[in-house]
Structure formats: C-alpha cells, structure tokens
Amino acid sequence: MTVIETLFTNAKLADGSFKDIGVAGGRIVSISPAGAGGEAGRRVDIAGALLVPGFVEGHIHLDTSFYGDRWIPHKPCTDGFDVHQRVAFQAENMAMAAPMDERARKQLELCVSNGSLQMRSHVMVDGSVGLKSLETILKVREDYRDIIDIQLVAFPQSGILSSPGTPELLDAAIGLGADLVGGLDPASFDRNLDGHLDVVFGVAERRGVGVDIHLHDFGTLGAFTVEEICARTVALGMQGRVVISHAYGLGDLDADAARHIGAKIAAAGISIMTNAPGDHVFPPVALLRAEGVNVFSGNDNIRDSWWPYGDGDMLGRAMMIGYRSGFYTDEELSAAFDVVTAAGAKALGLEGYGIAVGAKADFVTLDAEHVPEAVVAVPKGRRVFKAGRLVAENGAVVR
Ligand SMILES: [Zn+2]
C-alpha cells in the first residue's frame, strides 16, 4: 500500500461529499470518506472548505503587462479598434516600463495567489524584439517551476510577413524552449491568409508543436479564417493541438451559422479561448459547447497597452464569462467553471489534471457551498496547493 505523505482531511468536493485526500510524491494516492483517510506523515485540515482543481490560466501575456509597475493610462484607438495601432501604442509603453522579468514575476505571483497552477503565456517573438522577451520569460519560468507549470507560445505580435525575419525567429523560438507557435490575424494584419498560415503550420509540422493563433477579426473574415484553420488542422492531423484565441467573429454569426461552424471546429478538435472581453462580441460559449467545441479561458491582458482590466483571478473570469453569457442555472454556472478548469486542461493537453486518484495534487480551497455559488460569489481567502504543498494563501505566494 502507498504510504500517504500528507492527508488533506474533511475536504468538500464538487459533488457535495466530504473526503480525505491522500497525497504522496506530488500525486493524489487516495480519496476516502472524511474520517477514514488512515495514517499519514502529516495532516492538513481543509475544514469543510470546497476543494477544486487548480485553475488553468490558458491565455496571458507575461511580457507585456504593467501589473506591479506604475499606472500607465490607456490610450484609445483614434478610429475604432485597430490591432496595428494597439501594437504601436504597446511599443511606446514597453520602452518606459519596468524591467520585464520584474513585471512578469509580479503577474505570475498574482495568478498563483488566486489559484492558477497551470498557465499558457504568449510571448512576443518577431522582428521588433527578436528572441529577447522569450529569453527573459524562459528564465522566469524556470524560477517558478515548483509552483506553476507554464507553456509558452512564440507570438508574432508584429505580424509574420510584415515583420522581416519573423518566420525564422518563430522556428528558432521553438528551439530555444517555446512550446507552441502562435499567429496573429493572418488576413487583416499580414493581409495574406495563406502566407501567414503556411509559416505557422510549417513551423508546427517541422518542430512537432501545437498552434495557438490570436484571431481578432470580426464578421465574415473572422469566420472564414476559422474555417481555413480548421481545414489545415485536419489536413495535418493536428486535432487536439490547435487553439484559436478570441475568435471574436464567432460572436457575429446568427445561431444557424454559428452551429454550422461550431461543428467544423469540433470535428477539427480545435479549442476556442475567450476571456469575455469588454465591449467586443465574443464566441457563444453555450452554443459552441453544445456542438462539442472545447471552450476555455484566460485573463489575456492584465493592465497592459490593450486595456487596464484583468486581475489574474480565473474564478472571477468564470463569473465574467457566465455574466456576459447570461448563465443563471446551476448547470450553466458549472459550465462557466468547467471553462476555467477541465476545459483549460484539455486545451493545454495537460496530463494528470483533476481531483482523482493518480492526478497531480494541484488544488485550491474555496469558501463556498458548491461550484455554482463559487462562480457567482468569487470568494477570496483561498489556500493553493501545488504537488500537495502550500504555495499561496490569503492572496500571497508562500515559498
Ligand atoms: Zn492575447
């Protein structure tokens, strides 16, 4: 029989039952009725709090946030939302920001303190910054390896074809340690849908890595681009390894058209990331889930050049997704919770996620009656455990 190193006693699980959870070697080795957990080297009393898997921060930008830096006022676009102009504003702001690694560390600690233990961050890799940002964030990732798992996406923020040298840099980024190759509005930014996707999927195929593309395009152009990404994913047998982040255009379609394209996305095994952003239309979460599409989430920008919002709290993000989606029933609220937990794990291809024997002992305690209440109340005062070890409580990382 496995020796239990730490026994977490009297934890309330999502199904309402009270359990003792045994952990050894960073994994859950037993789940027993409360009081029946047996002998253990150490006991941690969960005291009836709700215990859920660590949140999945599925889309963030560790390199470009100003969180923890001085306040940098938001500059609006001069003629409606324009990605080119936002990128230009970002370059101006980055020139006067605090050192990147300091900002990244503060943002990471914010996320962990709120219960995120798995993360995917996009990091700029393009002709404007080369591999410098990636090198910095790779070091930060190493320093935080014991408290959060981080996937990095080589993200061509200045375009691929319109930023000389970027195709080679994206390839080199994978060699350096990035886990996935990114993209950005292939048609509207580079004005060459096929040329852009040739590079992205070319690197993915050559290096054997997944793809995560930012797609802000609205309307027909957005939907058409989604269909093209679906076709390439299927052609290359990359089902389960491709993400489209934002996909605002899916929120522009009527229900029939959205169901039709949703079926294609599901068949291609593509996950859709949404953060239920401000005043933009965004993908219809319930409709897509009903079509079998995996929808997950992330904070995306936190106090950066794109907007001043974001607090690193994926439970708060679930509330926002539920709020903007008109989710009221317990089933709908639980779906919003799934978006920031299990669906995120699926999108990121995580092994050993969840509260189950054999899974990683990565979990968060919440002062809530059950999951639906947690989504609407967003309780703080959480305890966060990574591999069975306390890594954050009362809103701060403990190391
Ligand atoms: Zn983003």
Domain boundaries, the chain: 6-53+353-397, 55-348
Is the pLDDT at 345 greater than 70? The verdict is yes
Model confidence over 141-173: pLDDT tens digits?
999 999 999 999 999 999 999 999 999 999 999
Residue 357 Cα to ligand 1 midpoint, Å, equals 34
Residue 205 Cα to ligand 1 midpoint, Å, equals 23
3 state SS for the chain: CCCCCEEEEEEECCCCCEEEEEEECCEEEEEEECCCCCCCCEEEECCCCEEEECEEEEEECCCCCCCCCCCCCCCCCECECCHHHHHHHHHHHHCCCCCHHHHHHHHHHHHHHCCEEEEEEEEECECCCECHHHHHHHHHHHHCCCCCEEEEEEECCCCCCCCCCHHHHHHHHHHHCCCEEEEECCCCCCCCHHHHHHHHHHHHHHHCCEEEEEECCCHHHHHHHHHHHHHHHHHCCCCCCEEEEECHHHHCCCHHHHHHHHHHHHHCCEEEECCCCCCCCCCCHHHHHHCCCEEECCCECCCCCCCCCCCCCHHHHHHHHHHHHCCCCHHHHHHHHHHHCHHHHHHHCCCCCCCCCCCECCEEEECCCCHHHHHHHCCCCCEEEECCEEEEECCEECC
Model confidence over 90-141: pLDDT tens digits?
989 988 899 999 999 999 999 999 999 999 999 999 999 999 999 999 999 9
Band (337; pLDDT cuts 50, 70, 90): very high
Band (280; pLDDT cuts 50, 70, 90): confident
Residue 18 Cα to ligand 1 midpoint, Å, equals 39
Residue 60 Cα to ligand 1 midpoint, Å, equals 6
Which pLDDT score is estimated for 1?
A: 65
Residue 287 Cα to ligand 1 midpoint, Å, equals 23
Provide the CATH topology of domain 55-348.
Answer: TIM Barrel (3.20.20)
Region 87-92: mean pLDDT is 90
The pTM is what?
A: 0.97
Residue 379 Cα to ligand 1 midpoint, Å, equals 26
Provide the CATH topology of domain 6-53+353-397.
Answer: Urease, subunit C; domain 1 (2.30.40)
